[in-house]
Amino acid sequence: MSKFGGSNNKKNVPGISSGSLSDIVFMLLFFFMVTTQLRETENKVIVKLPEASESAKLERKDLSANINIGTPVRHLQSMYGTDARIQLNDSFKTIADIRDFIAAERDAMSEAERSLMTVNLRVDEDVRMGIVSDVKQELRRCSALKIMYASRKPGGE
């Protein structure tokens, strides 16, 4: 008669239904599918963004071109050294390659949206300004004038 585990009513103990478990997991799955985006390129440089409290969100993420600047990741340091390098798409490049990179990014966009292109400079906080200035000068020469210094809000990741 007792509610809990009498030996005579073993058959009637209701099992926990796990049918809704998959629904819950699917909900989680959809959440992550909506809020994240596919990683397009592998990072070959270490980029720890500097902190800036006034950083604002980029509105059109699809209209941005990324330029990463930092020291190469550990397993590439034997080949490329520890000096700061520029990464465009998937490989190390030099200042002279930026022109082609910008042109390629422009070509990938529709004509109306080309003027809205933002170049997202993801630069490690320990990098010296010399290389950044060189990149900026080259961008001016390519007339890609809209840039963003990527940064993170203090306290957050």
**Minimum CB–partner distance for residue 27 and other proteins (Å):** 9
**Minimum CB–partner distance for residue 48 and other proteins (Å):** 9
Task: Look at residues 77, 75, 70 and name the one whose alpha carbon lies nearest to residue 150.
Answer: 70
Task: Look at residues 91, 66, 90, 88 and name the one whose alpha carbon lies nearest to residue 80.
Answer: 91
Nearer to other proteins, 7 or 53 (CB): 53
Nearer to other proteins, 108 or 141 (CB): 141
Return the sign of the alpha-carbon dihedral for residues 101, 118, 143, 137: negative
Nearer to other proteins, 29 or 103 (CB): 29
Residue 153 contacts residue 55 (beta carbons within 8 Å): yes
Residue 69 contacts residue 127 (beta carbons within 8 Å): yes
Nearer to other proteins, 6 or 125 (CB): 125
CA 45 to mean position of chain CA atoms: 13
Q: Which residues bind other proteins (CB under 8 A)?
A: 18-19, 21-22, 25-26, 28-29, 32-33, 35-39, 49-58, 61, 64, 118, 120-121, 123-130, 132-134, 136-137, 139-141, 143, 145-153, 157
**Minimum CB–partner distance for residue 79 and other proteins (Å):** 22
**Minimum CB–partner distance for residue 69 and other proteins (Å):** 8
Tokens of 25: 């997991």
Instruction: Determine the Cα–Cα distance for residues 18 and 13; give it in Å rounded to an integer.
Output: 15
Nearer to other proteins, 43 or 92 (CB): 43
Residue 144 contacts residue 117 (beta carbons within 8 Å): yes
**Minimum CB–partner distance for residue 53 and other proteins (Å):** 6
